[in-house]
Structure 1
Amino acid sequence: MATNDLQGTLELLVLKTLAATGSLHGYGIVLHIQRASDELLTVEEGSLYPALHRMEQNGWIQSEWALTETRRKAKYYTLTAQGRRQLDRAEKSFDDLVKGVRAVLRYA
């Protein structure tokens, strides 16, 4: 297993969230992940914003400033075409990781 597989999981969750929702600000991404996981997953802001920055630098997402529903200024993130390709790769990699972990758990 590559050492960045678990770090890549946050990126996978963010990319999948943006693919499902279109465009969200950071707090909206956090809420979506919590709700979609039945409150099993919690994303800390200290992890989310550096990941968003990395993903934007990689060209997987783009951002623009806009007003939220409560009229506050926030940065909204959307998936790019390159991000969709990365999402496909990340989902495959995660599926392989899960298969490997399941195999070890069955064996042990």
Structure 2
Amino acid sequence: MANQMTEMLKGTLEGIVLALLAERAAYGYEITAGLRDRGFAEIAEGTVYALLVRIEQRGLVDVEKVPSEKGPPRKVYTLNALGRERLAEFWRTWRFLSERIEQLNDNDDADERA
């Protein structure tokens, strides 16, 4: 099951991170901690940082370097208008897919009862 979970998360992680950033601006470690707090403990920090690079390159977030008390400045990511559009698209797609998958599950449950 862990392998299947990993594969499914790969396809949805961008939307999940954008949803976190829709709540508030955050830097990489805060995003990773937020994911873990929500039960996504298996996501590696390196995966999150690679995703942040990609969404920055795609122009979905604004980035501000903020001084840190410990070490180099932190990159704080803020969801911008393009990122909000992408997040809205993610939620539309998610609803579409989850409704169809639930229908399949409902059909499977009915078949098992028959």
Deviations along 1:45-73, one digit per CA (max 9) or x if unpaired, are: 121111111111111112122134x5442
Deviations along 1:5-26, one digit per CA (max 9) or x if unpaired, are: 75341111111111101x1111
Extract unaligned runs of 5+ from structure 1.
none
Q: TM-score, normalised by structure 1?
A: 0.79
The 5 A counterparts of 1:1-108 are: 6-21=9-24, 23-35=25-37, 37=38, 40-42=39-41, 43-68=43-68, 70-72=69-71, 73-108=73-108
Q: What is the aligned residue count?
A: 100
Q: Distance in 2 between matches of 1:48 and 1:17?
A: 12
Letter in 2 for 1:29: I
Q: Distance in 2 between matches of 1:89 and 1:5?
A: 18
Q: Distance in 1 between matches of 2:8 and 2:33?
A: 23
Considering only aligned residues, what root-mean-square deviation do their CA atoms show, in Å? Answer: 2.0
Structure 1 residues 61, 5: CA separation in 2 closer, same or farther (over 3 Å shift)? farther
Structure 1 or 2, whichever has the larger Rg, is 2
Q: TM-score, normalised by structure 2?
A: 0.76
SS for the counterpart of 2:40 is coil
SS for the counterpart of 1:64 is strand
Letter in 2 for 1:14: V
Q: Distance in 2 between matches of 1:5 and 1:85?
A: 22
Taking only the aligned residue pairs, the percentage that are identical comes to 30
